[in-house]
């Protein structure tokens, strides 16, 4: 994967915490930032999906009378 260099500004306390936590894990600062950005992007994608879903339900609400139609086809994961 091709990487690009970027410059960010971080307050000293946050940087100290990153160094303290990432050091024993063998992570460089750039990897910590990459992980944080990926997690943020995933959260944002989930939030966007939920916002779109809610907007769609507001336009065309579910019919509560059809709930029984779905009971037989639902699947529950076991963790």
CA distance 44 to 38: 10
pLDDT for residue 79: 61
Cβ-proximal residues to 10 (8 Å cutoff; 6+ apart), any chain: 18
pLDDT for residue 38: 98
Q: What share of the chain is helix, strand, coil (3-state, %, to 5)?
A: 65, 0, 35
Supply 53's token pair. Answer: 């879903």
The reported pTM is 0.71
pLDDT for residue 47: 97
pLDDT for residue 4: 95
Contact assessment for residue 33 and residue 23, using Cβ atoms and an 8 Å cutoff = no
pLDDT for residue 14: 98
* pLDDT digit string, tens, across residues 16-66: 999 999 999 999 999 999 999 999 999 999 999 999 999 999 999 888 888
Report the chain's C-alpha Rg in angstroms: 21
């Amino acid at each position: 994967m091709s990487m690009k260099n970027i410059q960010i500004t971080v307050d000293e306390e946050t940087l100290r915490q990153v160094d303290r936590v990432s050091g024993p894990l063998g992570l460089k600062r750039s990897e910590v930032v990459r992980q944080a950005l990926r997690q943020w992007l995933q959260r944002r994608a989930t939030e966007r999906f939920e916002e779109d879903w809610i907007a769609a339900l507001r336009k065309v609400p579910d019919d509560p009378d059809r709930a029984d139609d779905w009971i037989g086809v639902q699947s529950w994961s076991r963790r």
